[in-house]
């Protein structure tokens, strides 16, 4: 999977300033990476920029948002935002988030809690109920659960969730990526079927080719 | 170069290597000898080189080299202030061990 936007949290090792950009060498414990922040020109932000710059010194922790670049095998980050880390719990949080995103990428998105609860609910009804009403009651149970959990467990909501989370500006997300993220929850056929419906209803549309879509 | 996050229990696995360790300052002498309470509650002796000492109870992150006696020769330190969720930090350190591809 190609990585575009990244976020890292690390200590500033060194800073190099030029008239057009500032280059930070940042160490997050896994290694070092160069982070370039281009100077933004506007009418009245001279003072603001110097205030922000003053806080970003060697030895402090920063959180970097930017695009990952790969030039002749050397990775760097083109930053669009740098935040001074004032609370050390942000480091804990960031590393846990990195693990979470890694697991989600490797194993697919977690089935929502409501889906699991529904299963428990149905199981309970099956176990507790005897006699000919069993099937009717189970059917009622499922219908009831789905209605009370609107917006949390159905395929449309999960597709929307994945699209919001992984879409890239202009391009959107590829259908195969959506299937990948939801592979533990729905089959590709189910997802493509639902995407066709959502497209007919005008909720999503194709972008660069017929494998890439975005939310309307 | 990577600098793994450790606590007092893990430090023995990294003799001769550079690590980062977070802890609370229990004592700090003028000769730079500092005792940290690591995130797992164990004590670690640190020999400071970048600074003379720290105030008591300050949370710090030390980067330094692990000596054969399991003390650390500090090369740099970040001060974290006097409040942090050190238990969660320790859990993160332990969890990170299960993801050698990431850390």
Residues A16 and A97 in one domain: yes
- Chain A nearest-CA residue for B6: A29
The answer to whether residue A41 scores a pLDDT higher than 80 is no
Please give the interface size between A and B, counted as residue pairs whose CB atoms are below 8 Å apart. Answer: 49
Residues A123 and A60 in one domain: no
Does residue A128 form part of some domain?
yes
Contacts of A102 in chain B (CB under 8 A): 99, 101-102
Closest CA to A174 of A124, A211, A204, A119: A211
Domain termination site, one of A63, A84, A107: A107
Query: Does the distance separating the beta carbons of B84 and A88 come in below 8 Å?
Result: yes
CA B69, CA B58: separation in Å to the nearest integer?
24
Residues A37 and A91 in one domain: yes
Residues A125 and A98 in one domain: no
Residues A155 and A187 in one domain: yes
Total number of domains in chain A: 2
Note the pLDDT tens digit of each residue in A159-211.
988 888 888 878 889 998 899 888 888 899 999 999 999 999 888 999 888 88
What is the extent of the structural domain holding A85? 5-107
Does residue A19 form part of some domain?
yes
The answer to whether residue A4 scores a pLDDT higher than 90 is no
Q: Which of B5, B78, B95 sits opposite A59 (nearest CB)?
A: B78
CATH superfamily label, B5-102: Nucleic acid-binding proteins (2.40.50.140)
CA A117, CA A152: separation in Å to the nearest integer?
11
Distance from CA of A121 to the nearest CA of B (A): 33
Q: How far is CA A45 from CA A19, A23, A52, A62, in A?
A: 15, 20, 11, 21
The answer to whether residue A130 scores a pLDDT higher than 60 is no
Does residue A188 form part of some domain?
yes
Contacts of A98 in chain B (CB under 8 A): 102
Angle, vertex CA A31, rays to CA A26 and CA A36, nearest 5: 30
Does residue A113 form part of some domain?
no
Q: What pLDDT was estimated at residue A168? A: 82
Does residue A27 form part of some domain?
yes
For residue A3, what pLDDT band results from cuts at 50, 70 and 90? confident
Query: Does the distance separating the beta carbons of B78 and A60 come in below 8 Å?
Result: yes
Provide the CB-side half-sphere exposure for A84 (13 A, CA): 12
More confident residue, A165 or A66: A66
Q: What pLDDT was estimated at residue A171? A: 85
Residues A22 and A102 in one domain: yes
Residues A100 and A136 in one domain: no
Domain termination site, one of A50, A72, A107: A107
Does residue A112 form part of some domain?
no
Residues A12 and A99 in one domain: yes
Residues A28 and A99 in one domain: yes
Query: Does the distance separating the beta carbons of B96 and A99 come in below 8 Å?
Result: yes
Does residue A56 form part of some domain?
yes
- Residue B85 sits at the chain A interface (C-beta within 8 Å): yes
Note the pLDDT tens digit of each residue in B15-28.
999 999 999 999 99
Does residue A114 form part of some domain?
no
Query: Does the distance separating the beta carbons of B1 and A31 come in below 8 Å?
Result: yes
Tokens of A138: 């189970």
Domain termination site, one of A47, A79, A107: A107
Residues A49 and A9 in one domain: yes
CATH number for the domain including A50?
A: 2.40.50.140
More confident residue, A132 or B2: B2
Per DSSP, the three-state class of A134 is helix
Whether this model's ipTM surpasses 0.85 comes out as: yes
Q: Mean pLDDT score of chain B, rounded to an integer? A: 96
For residue A114, what pLDDT band results from cuts at 50, 70 and 90? low
Q: What percent of chain B has pLDDT over 70?
A: 100
Q: What residues pair up with A185 in beta bridges, in sequence order?
A: none
Residues A99 and A130 in one domain: no
Residues A135 and A92 in one domain: no
Q: What pLDDT was estimated at residue A135? A: 39
Q: What pLDDT was estimated at residue B59? A: 98
Strands A173-174 and A212-215: antiparallel
């Amino acid at each position: 999977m190609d990585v575009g936007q990244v976020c890292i949290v690390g200590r500033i090792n060194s800073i190099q300033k030029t008239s057009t950009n500032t280059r930070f060498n940042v160490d997050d414990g896994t290694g070092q990476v160069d982070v370039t922040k281009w100077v933004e020109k506007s009418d009245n932000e001279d003072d603001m920029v110097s205030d922000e710059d003053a806080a970003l010194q060697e030895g402090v922790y920063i959180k970097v948002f930017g695009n990952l670049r790969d030039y002749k095998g050397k990775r760097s980050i083109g930053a669009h935002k740098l935040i001074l880390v004032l609370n050390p719990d942000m480091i804990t949080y960031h590393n846990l988030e990195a693990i979470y995103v890694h697991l989600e990428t490797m194993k697919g998105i977690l089935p929502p809690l409501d889906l699991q609860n529904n299963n428990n609910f149905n199981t309970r009804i099956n176990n507790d109920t005897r006699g000919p009403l069993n099937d009717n009651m189970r059917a009622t149970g499922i219908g009831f659960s789905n209605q009370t959990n609107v917006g949390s467990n159905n395929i449309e909501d999960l597709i929307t969730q994945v699209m919001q989370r992984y879409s890239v500006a202009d391009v959107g997300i590829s259908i195969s990526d959506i299937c990948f993220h939801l592979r533990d929850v729905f089959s590709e056929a189910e997802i493509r079927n639902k995407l066709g419906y959502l497209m007919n209803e005008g909720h999503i549309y194709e972008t660069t080719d017929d494998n890439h879509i975005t939310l309307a | 170069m990577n600098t793994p996050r450790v606590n007092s229990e893990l430090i023995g696995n990294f003799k001769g290597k550079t690590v980062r360790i977070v802890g609370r300052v229990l004592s700090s002498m003028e000769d730079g000898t500092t005792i940290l309470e690591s995130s797992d509650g164990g004590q670690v002796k640190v020999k400071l080189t970048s600074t003379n000492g720290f105030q008591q109870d300050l949370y710090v992150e030390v980067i330094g080299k692990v000596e054969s006696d399991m003390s650390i020769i500090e090369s740099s330190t970040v001060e974290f202030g006097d409040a942090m969720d050190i238990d969660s930090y320790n859990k993160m350190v332990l969890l990170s061990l299960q993801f050698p591809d990431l850390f």
